[in-house]
Chain A
Amino acid sequence: GNSVTQMEGPVTLSEEAFLTINCTYTATGYPSLFWYVQYPGEGLQLLLKATKADDKGSNKGFEATYRKETTSFHLEKGSVQVSDSAVYFCSTGTASKLTFGTGTRLQVTL
């Protein structure tokens, strides 16, 4: 079956630091890949996505590239802000199944 592995959190960074959250997956075929973000007290919302190999998803300064050869979809941001503090979920999507990772909590401090 499909599975998603994310780096354990929490990740604590100072404002303006560089962020990487690792995500690797196993899936049959070539799934679509997503990053969802959950801000405190809210539901998940789509941050970015990629539907085929070598695609780069980007939004709000975040980026992730679909790497088929390493089955990875790492999330990056060049300069984080306090407002980026949230839980980030990597997920894979096939024709009938969406599989979520366990989430990585990011805490950004001044």
Chain B
Amino acid sequence: DAGITQSPRYKITETGRQVTLMCHQTWSHSYMFWYRQDLGHGLRLIYYSAAADITDKGEVPDGYVVSRSKTENFPLTLESATRSQTSVYFCASSESGYNWLKGDEQYFGPGTRLTVT
């Protein structure tokens, strides 16, 4: 399917377990992003990547790890899940960069709802 996909769409895991959320885009966009969406907080940036093998921290990176060995994939790993990481996670991509002053658009995946028990 063309576009940006995330898997799984729903995940329940236990405290302390490692879990990886997958993100795949077919546009060859250079920039990719991970957000979490929590009630009362809107969307908060976890990590972003400007290209394969280039990643950087966002607003709330603690407890998360990312990698980007291929342009089209940007997995997010929770190394030891905690209840505070229960959230909806969105992956996004951007064609032309990270300069929102130009009005660049982000394209979002459908999200993964993660519950940590």
The residue in A43, A46, A97, A101 that gathers the most chain B C-beta atoms within 10 A of its C-beta is A43
Cβ of A89 < 8 Å from any Cβ of B?
Answer: yes
Cβ of A81 < 8 Å from any Cβ of B?
Answer: no
21 contacts between A and B (CB under 8 A): A4-B42, A34-B100, A34-B103, A43-B4, A43-B90, A43-B110, A43-B111, A44-B43, A44-B90, A45-B107, A50-B103, A51-B101, A89-B43, A92-B100, A93-B103, A95-B100, A96-B99, A96-B100, A98-B45, A98-B106, A100-B43
Complex-state Cα separation, A94 to B103, whole angstroms:
9
Q: Tell me whether A31 and B108 are in contact (CB under 8 A).
A: no
Complex-state Cα separation, A89 to B104, whole angstroms:
16
- Given A4-B42, A41-B110, A44-B106; 5 other pairs, CB 8 A cutoff: A31-B101, A32-B100, A32-B101, A44-B108, A51-B103
Interface band, chain B: 20 to 34
Q: A43-B90, A45-B108 are in contact. Are A93 and B101 (CB under 8 A)?
A: yes
The residue in B40, B92, B103, B111 that gathers the most chain A C-beta atoms within 10 A of its C-beta is B103
Q: Across the interface, which residues of B come within 8 angstroms of A49, CB to CB?
A: 103, 105
Q: Across the interface, which residues of A come within 8 angstroms of B98, CB to CB?
A: 96
Q: Across the interface, which residues of B come within 8 angstroms of A101, CB to CB?
A: 42
Q: A93-B100, A95-B99, A96-B98 are in contact. Are A43 and B109 (CB under 8 A)?
A: yes
Interface size counted on chain A using CB atoms at 8 A: 25
Closest A-chain residue to B40, C-beta based?
Answer: A102
Q: Tell me whether B101 and A95 are in contact (CB under 8 A).
A: yes
Within the complex, the shortest CB–CB distance from A59 to chain B, in Å, comes to: 12
Q: Tell me whether A46 and B90 are in contact (CB under 8 A).
A: no
1/0 per residue A86-110: CB within 8 Å of B? 0001001111111011110000000
Q: Tell me whether A100 and B42 are in contact (CB under 8 A).
A: yes
Complex-state Cα separation, A42 to B110, whole angstroms:
5
Complex-state Cα separation, A97 to B44, whole angstroms:
11
Complex-state Cα separation, A92 to B105, whole angstroms:
12
Closest B-chain residue to A42, C-beta based?
Answer: B110
Q: Tell me whether B42 and A89 are in contact (CB under 8 A).
A: yes
Give A7-35 interface residues, CB cut-off 8 Å to B. 31-32, 34
